[in-house]
Amino acid sequence: MAAGDFNVKYVAHLARLALTPEEEIKLGAQLGNIIGFVEQLKSVDVSNVEPTAHAVPTVNVTRADEIRPSLPHDEAMRNAPAKSGGLFVVPKIVE
């Protein structure tokens, strides 16, 4: 893949990541190289191979549905950048 084919602006939007024009250019070139490197996986025969999401085969892990203590409200909110009345403050979403 050529570096120019990598649409950094579009992917950055998907990732909700603001980039400067300089970062877009630099990342585009670097990621073009990295994508070129990982292209080598296309030469591996993976027909009839199941994907591994997780190396230890654990299936449907559940635990008893019991009420247990949780963080006090104030503690859970303590790192909020903006809060009011025990709620997180965010920009207006709906007019």
Partner 1 sequence: MLNRLTISELSARLIKREVSSREVTQACLDQIARVDGQIHAFISHDAADALAQADVADKAIAAGASSSQQPLLGIPVAVKDVLAVKNQPLNCGSKILGDFVSPYDATVIEKLKIAGAIVFGRLNMDEFAMGSSTENSAFGVTRNPWDTTRIPGGSSGGSAAAVAADEAIATLGTDTGGSIRQPAALCGCVGLKPTYGRVSRYGLVAFASSLDQIGPFTKDVRDCATMLNVIGGHDRRDSTSVAHAVPDYTKALDGNIKGLRLGLPKEYMIGGLDPEVKAAVDAAVKQLQSLGASVEEISLPHTEYAAATYYIIAPAEASANLARFDGIRYCARVNGADPIELYSKTRGAGFGPEVKRRIILGTYVLSSGYYDAYYLRAQKVRTLIRQDFLKAFENVDAIITPTTPTAAFKIGEKSDDPLQMYLSDVFTISCNLAGICGVSIPCGFTKSPKLPIGLQLLGKPFGEETMLKIAHAYEQSTVWHREKPAL
- Sites of contact with partner 1 (CB under 8 A): 6, 8, 11-20, 23, 27, 30-31, 33-35, 37-38, 40-42, 44, 46, 49-56, 58, 61, 63, 71, 75-76, 78-82, 88, 90-93
From residue 66, alpha-carbon distances to 22, 23, 72 in Å are 52, 49, 18
Q: Hunting for tokens 């920009």 — which residue is that?
A: 91
Nearest distance from residue 76's CB to partner 1, in Å? 7
Query: Chain-centre distance of CA 89, in angstroms?
Result: 23
Nearest distance from residue 45's CB to partner 1, in Å? 9
Rank residues 52 and 84 by Cβ distance to partner 1 and give the closer one.
52
Nearest distance from residue 48's CB to partner 1, in Å? 9
